[in-house]
């Protein structure tokens, strides 16, 4: 545990689910209703530092979070993302997965999804 890491010192009341590999919390700055983070228990910054077992257990938390979000928010779709490294936009250097519920008409044109991280290259279909 690192004292300066916000994910290493999460208050218990923020945790909505957990297992031996991680926890699920609602994002403090959600981009949509229900935006959830799945955070590794072990302080590592990259997916590639996790063991196969840790990855499997974290994905089981993603599955459980999705089922809960389906019940509570009834989204139409999901974006699932990992910002792995500073150049990829990672701002908290503790591994986490974004599970972002998406809703019909939440954007005028959702096509391309995660490709929009580099806007000039996202719209490949109209060229």
Catalytic, out of 35, 43, 94, 96: 96
Task: Quick: pLDDT tens for 40-53.
Answer: 999 999 999 999 99
Strand partners, 77: 102
Q: How confident is the model at residue 123 (pLDDT cuts 50, 70, 90)?
A: confident
Check residue 118 and give its pLDDT.
84
pLDDT surpasses 90 at 124: no
Token pair listed for 56: 């499997």
Of 75, 5, 64, nearest to 34 (Cα)?
A: 75
Of 74, 69, 99, 97, nearest to 84 (Cα)?
A: 97
Residue 6 to residue 19: CA distance in whole angstroms: 19
- Of residues 113 and 55, the one with the higher pLDDT is 55
Task: Quick: pLDDT tens for 64-94.
Answer: 999 999 999 999 999 999 999 999 999 999 9
Per-chain mean pLDDT for the chain? 95
- Of residues 78 and 114, the one with the higher pLDDT is 78
Residue where the block lists tokens 């989204």: 75
18 is catalytic: no
CATH architecture of 12-122: 2-Layer Sandwich (3.30)
Radius of gyration of the chain (CA): 15
């Amino acid at each position: 545990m690192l004292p300066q890491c916000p994910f290493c010192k999460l208050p218990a009341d923020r945790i909505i689910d957990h297992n031996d590999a991680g926890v699920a919390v609602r994002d403090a700055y959600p981009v949509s209703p229900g935006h959830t983070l799945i955070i590794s228990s072990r302080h590592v910054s990259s997916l590639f530092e996790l063991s196969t077992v840790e990855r499997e257990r974290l994905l089981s938390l993603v599955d459980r979070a999705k089922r809960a979000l389906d019940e509570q928010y009834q989204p139409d779709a999901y974006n699932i993302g990992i910002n792995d490294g500073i150049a990829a936009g990672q701002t908290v250097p503790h591994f986490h997965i974004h599970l972002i519920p998406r809703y019909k008409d939440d954007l005028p044109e959702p096509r391309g999804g995660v490709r929009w991280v580099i806007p000039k290259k996202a719209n490949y279909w109209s060229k």
